Amino acid sequence: MARMQALCLFLLLWASIGEAEYFKYQDPEQRLAIRIKDLLERMTLEEKIGQMTQIERKVATPQILKDYFIGSVLSGGGSVPQPQAAPEVWVNMVNEFQRGSLSTRLKIPMIYGIDAVHGNNNVFNATIFPHNVGLGATRDPELVKKIGKATALEVRATGIHYAFAPCIAVCRDPRWGRCYESYSEDPKIVQEMTEIIPGLQGDIPANGVKGVPYVAGRKKVAACAKHYVGDGGTQKGINENDTIISRQDLLRIHMPAYYNSIIKGVSTIMVSYSSWNGIKMHANRELITDFLKNELKFRGFVISDWEGIDRITTPPKANYTYSVETSINAGIDMVMVPNDYESFIGNLTDLVNKNVISMNRIDDAVTRILRVKFSMGLFENPYGDLNLYDQLGKKKHRKLARKAVRESLVLLKNGKSPQETIIPLAKKASRILVAGIHADNIGLQCGGWTIDWQGQSGNITGGTTILKAIKSTVDPDTLVIHAQFPSVSFVIENDFAYAIVVVGESPYAETNGDNLNLTLPAPGPSIIKNVCENVKCVVIIISGRPLVIEPYVPMIDALVAAWLPGSEGKGVSDVLFGDYGFTGKLPRTWFKSVDQLPMNVGDEHYDPLFPFGFGLTTESTTV
């Protein structure tokens, strides 16, 4: 009898082990659809809603991820494990969260997201590439694809799986504080630049299914096309405002890059804070479910923006239950909560139990989230790799960023007449002046979304300032004098051969960058006047968009739009001194006055200071 009981116990144990070993969803040899179906059928409502929840790392713990079955964690702008954290610190933090997720009953891994919008820009010593407006000036999709590949490696170096990039907004008004996140005012250029997606994720296989997310292994990341849709067309360029436009024009101007993104297998799409004709995008079922999911056949997941569902009401969170109901029924699959996860989970659970939100809608959301996680191999490789630490700020990536800088620079003026060209500048001179507060400042060079959400002034991360680049490029006998605010007498008395003036905007992000006048910020105008009226000068504008510069152009010998070039200032000196030629073309119209705005190429009354596509070229002087 005892032997029989022991045998029965052994058979039961063997059967349970066998079942655990042969869960279909845990078998990478099974087809994707079978794995998703098998796992979904095993999940409780609590586990499903947990997958739909994304929380900020500041409120996350491994225990919270376990207890609430949290599907995703993120770092908001500037949210880091510690100041100047090394890659290993990031990897260990992400892996610790992952251990919490893998200690759950079904062992569903969480996905960690970060705003890697111009390199892995939250992370100290990462390579910071030019912001998108500069990349639009390159007209070089292959370069942008390589930047995506490098960014993916630098994100994976920190153990992170998911980048909230690219922004494929079509900025139609430079007063918008996010205009530098847009490649161009021209939808065709934005479409071309979606080539960053296969850079981030990998090229989809020849037999890949249109609309199905694809991430090619552990050195790639899930990408996120954003912000769906019309975020660059708001009235007066006011962030999160209303885009008042016909459906035909919405589809013609703001939608085309989403078609390309979906074809290229983008994993996720983020919804815009803005409205379309008075309807908040986070509440727009017609565009999220009917058009994006059903008509365009997008099979990845739709994610909200930061507290995006809260802003369905005015003021935000005035009726949070309504916001949860409306956003989920509109088709949002994962909600960037990011802090009050208990309220979100409680409200959503209650709405499902009351049949206000159907189980079919929940299952659609979770199916999409699982599809991305399975597609990127997260179940097989959930942990970050400490061996990728050397990819962060890698010399090869900095060389690529330097190339991107020189291709992004747009030469707007070269000499007061065709016979008086000043660029390329002479490397050998007795003394030259480098003026302006932007000349020796990595933070100002990089702009917003760098180390902090709003960016910072100062040498906040690794890189080469424009001043250092100039000093390393000119002849060793040339004396380079840096003066942030040179007086007229200083300029005259020092008998400079020429001057390089580097001025522009201070860093900003999102609403803090909204600007209804777009004048060149002080002390830029006075520096230009003091210097350029008294010595030959090149003025370099560091900005996220065109600014009002018409009054100063006559006194300037050469004028360069450098946008927000990032960490590699040598890209600027490369073309100033003729080692490479200028090739960049304006990705957006340079207006004369803000009274003309919005003004875009093709408009009936088009009268710019410099038209869309303008850019003088120079030849390399190197043999």
Active site residues: 305, 510
Structure tokens given for 547: 């600014």
Rg (alpha carbons) of the chain, rounded to whole number: 26
Decide: 469 and 405 in contact? Cβ < 8 Å.
no
Sheet holding 279-280, edge to edge: 242-243, 275-276, 279-280
Identify which of 581, 556, 558, 557 has the alpha carbon closest to the alpha carbon of residue 571.
581
User: Half-sphere exposure of residue 533, counting CA atoms within 13 Å on the CB side?
Assistant: 13
Residue ranges of the alpha helices (H) in 139-231?
Answer: 141-156, 187-192, 196-201
Distance CA 160, CA 137 (A): 29
Helix 320-330 to helix 359-375 angle (10° resolution) is 60
Identify which of 587, 538, 501 has the alpha carbon closest to the alpha carbon of residue 144.
587
Phi, psi of 40 (to 5 degrees): -60, -40
Decide: 568 and 397 in contact? Cβ < 8 Å.
no
The structure tokens 């190429």 sit at: 601
Identify which of 207, 353, 226 has the alpha carbon closest to the alpha carbon of residue 301.
226
CB atoms within 10 A of CB 84: 12
Phi, psi of 171 (to 5 degrees): -75, 115
User: Half-sphere exposure of residue 482, counting CA atoms within 13 Å on the CB side?
Assistant: 14
- For residues 235-262, b (16+ Cβ closer than 10 Å) or e, as one string? eebbbbbbbebeeeebeebbbbbbebbb
Phi, psi of 12 (to 5 degrees): -65, -45
Phi, psi of 205 (to 5 degrees): -60, 160
HEC-encoded secondary structure of 553-604: HHHCCEEEEEECCCCECHHHHHHHCCCCCCCCCCCCCECCCHHHCCCCCCCC
Helix (H) or strand (E) holding 331: none
CA dihedral sign, ordered 294, 297, 300, 302:
negative
Strand boundaries in 141-238, DSSP class E: 162-163, 224-228
